[in-house]
Amino acid sequence: MNEIFKQIPLYRFIAFCNDTNMDKVVLDCGAGGDCPPLSLFLEHGFLTHGIEFSIKQLEDANKYANNKSQNLNINQGDMRKLKFENDSLSFVYSYNSVFHMTKEDVAKSMNEMKRVLKPNGLMFVNFVTTKDFRCGKGVVVGENQYEQMDDETPVIHSYYEECEPDKYFENMKILYKESRVLERIYEGEKIRQGFVDYIVKKI
């Protein structure tokens, strides 16, 4: 029985990808962690590529892949400077990753992801919104941008108004957009998380 992955919005992205005639080649920007979703794409017949900035997150992802005898092809890399040719990949996504940098660097990363995407290729990317419970906390590094602690490590989070990321897709076709506010219990406390998800097509 295949594993059920916690990155639920990516199941929708796979459905959109499968409705195209594109070659099933995908890049994950921010592919690290102890449950890398590239494994899900591999199980659905995709040729996978992944880049991860953090060596620790990269090691966790490759340990997971080795335990499942999978070759996910995840390497150390920076989404602000992708080492792929122009118009070379059918599908690109960044799940819960691109907002872990300043908005200036987010813009660079978005331009890189669009650059490597083939015409008619699809991209999934999500952002945290100002409705998130952590917005406004931490060291200010810009407008709605804060250095915050994640597992005792300082990490930048950039928060967006619901329609603010639309500007990144002015030359693309938005196929799907969903703003989500989740309220859940985390470590005994009720928290609120805000996200906005996009699936877009390069034209």
Is the pTM here over 0.85, yes or no?
Answer: yes
- Residue 103 forms part of a structural domain: yes
Whether 3 is covered by a domain: the verdict is no
Residue 2 lies in a domain: no
**CATH code at 26?**
3.40.50.150
Residue-wise pLDDT for 78-128, tens only, equals 999 999 999 999 999 999 999 999 999 999 999 999 999 999 999 999 999
89 domain residue, yes or no: yes
The conformation of residue 84, written as its DSSP 8-state character, comes to S
Domain that holds residue 63: 9-202
- In a domain? residue 143: yes
Residue 157, CA distances (Å) to 10, 101, 154, 195 in order: 21, 6, 10, 13
Rg of the chain over all Cα atoms, to the nearest angstrom: 16
Q: Which of 128, 127, 124, 129 is nearest to 93 (CA)?
A: 124
The single-letter code of the amino acid at 60 is D
Residue 153's pLDDT is what? Answer: 87
- Total domains in the chain come to 1
Residue 189, both tokens: 């406390």
- What's the pLDDT band for 1 if we cut at 50, 70, 90? low
